[in-house]
Chain A
Amino acid sequence: MSALRLLAVAWYLQFKMILRSPFDGIGNVLYPLFFATTAFFVFRAGESPRTLIYASLGAAVMGMWSSVSTSAGSAMQRERWWGTLELLVAAPRHFALVLLPATLGLATVGIYNLVATLLWGRLLFGIDLTIEHPLLFALSILGTVLSFGGLGFLFAVSFVRFRAAWVLGNFFEYPVWLICGFLVPLSLLPSWVRPISWVLAPTWGMSAIRESALGGTPVPDLLLCLGLGAAYVVFGVLVTDRVLRAARQRGSLSLT
């Protein structure tokens, strides 16, 4: 119970900090809108039977991913720059309980991204989206946010040994946009790419959101998305323990 309370309080704190950050709170919200606008124009001008609604949902989840990938990679680095990393590591609670809310906070901003993109599509391009299964749609968004937070957490702890961790976070923005079926159906990609897509939770989160909005069976996709998100967190905790043990042994925790 106290762990949940810590998660909730830390998430709220991180969320407030993110909203006041010009880069995370404004830049990361605006930036994907440019890609969404480009995609809307491309789909509107194209001859594909895929509709603008398909593009609208894909572009909205692209925005959700942007808010996580760009900043989560350097979440642990940021604490290091601020000089708070040692204090947080020395705290009696497991460090994962402190770091996970940071990436969950970034993923939560993704909900704003999603809504903003859908509204942008509605107001500027007349994309009228009718949600077939509203409850499942809401659950799919929540599940996608949680799994994005889990993947961001794994990024944060995995990249900590790299001084340029923020670059790696940026680096994963385009590939995930490309191979997780946001705007490009997986069937168009080379067959060797698909297994990579299947182990990425955004693929299943995107599918769950699309199925619930357009009418389909989103539950299996949602469960896969949540399962992968939980696996990322478990794996991230193991990596955290290993990284912190190595940092303590080598005295490199504050290395910048």
Chain B
Amino acid sequence: MIVAARIFVVGGATSFRALWYWLTPWIYVPTMLVAPIFQILLFAYIGRSAQLESDEFYVIGNAIQYASIPCLFAMAQMIGGERFQNTLSAILVSPAPRIPLFFGRSLPVILNGAFVGAFALAAGSLILGVHLPASSLGPLALTILIAAFSCTGLGLMNGAVSLRIRENAVLNNVIFGFLLIFTGANVPLDALPGWMSTLAQGLPFTHAIEAARQLADGATLGEVKGLLGAELLIGAIYGIAGYVVLRWFESQSRRHATLERS
């Protein structure tokens, strides 16, 4: 049990620190802190141009949706980065239990994703003059954390697929694009075709964004608990599915000697 806890905490922290080998402040600040502000501004002004929704709608939607960048890319890097550093086989040959090994790597990613989303929400609100009630700030922080958890579950599946494909950067961008369209971040779900709004119910962020908008409009945490529960459930399903796929691809990679193929 202690060994598993050590692998979960120390392994996860070490893996996340390894990201900073290349994710320096020169990269982190423009991509994680400044870019989401421009995404918020872009869609807020498109919304004004199209006369669709309020600034608050776009600030909340895009701040939460942008958390997908750290969640998806870091989880894909969990495999791709280890492979690039030639450490992937050393990790997978070890007898370490896989659940703490992989989920430990997810925890710092969730926290970082939540930080990016919260920063974007705060900065976007200040720049566009969106007022968020003080009573909503705590529940909003919790909502963003749950959204980051949910997307990291999808990221784990993305990381698993990285055992099979070389161009995970392209795949990350494609998933990001789907989340941009389907989750209601910029287009109200009732303005999407029926099949798209139905599909959105199974994606990370859809329920968290809806919950965050209701909280900003004065709802209490209790009133959005159903939405947050659904978001948690979706994240858990993706996380478990990602773990299963990861184990399967790991086994396939051993069998076909394709672990280091990049």
Contacts and interface: CB of A to CB of B under 8 A. Distances in A.
Interface of A: 22-23, 26-27, 30-31, 33-35, 37-39, 41-48, 50, 55, 162-164, 167-168, 170-171, 174-175, 177-178, 183-185, 188-189
Contacts of A168: 30
Contact of B173 (A30, A50, A174): A30
Contacts of A171: 30-31, 34-35
A47 B52 contact: yes
A167 B27 contact: yes
Given A38-B181, A42-B43, A162-B26, 9 more contacts: A27-B173, A30-B177, A34-B174, A34-B178, A45-B52, A45-B187, A164-B24, A167-B31, A184-B45
B181 A188 contact: no
Interface residues of B, number: 36
A97 B30 CA distance: 30
B187 A189 contact: no
B170 A178 contact: no
Given A27-B167, A164-B27, A50 B42 contact: no
A210 B150 CA distance: 41
Nearest to A45: B191
A178 B43 CA distance: 9
A33 B167 contact: no
B41 interface: yes
List the 8 shortest-distance A-B pairs measured between CB atoms, nearest first: A34-B177, A46-B50, A174-B38, A45-B191, A46-B52, A27-B170, A41-B187, A22-B167
Interface in B178-193: 178, 180-181, 186-188, 191-192
Contact of B186 (A23, A42, A47, A162): A42
Interface in B1-41: 24, 26-27, 30-31, 34-35, 38-39, 41
B225 interface: no
A44 B196 CA distance: 15
Interface string B147-186: 0000000000000000000110110011011101100001
B48 to A, nearest CB: 6
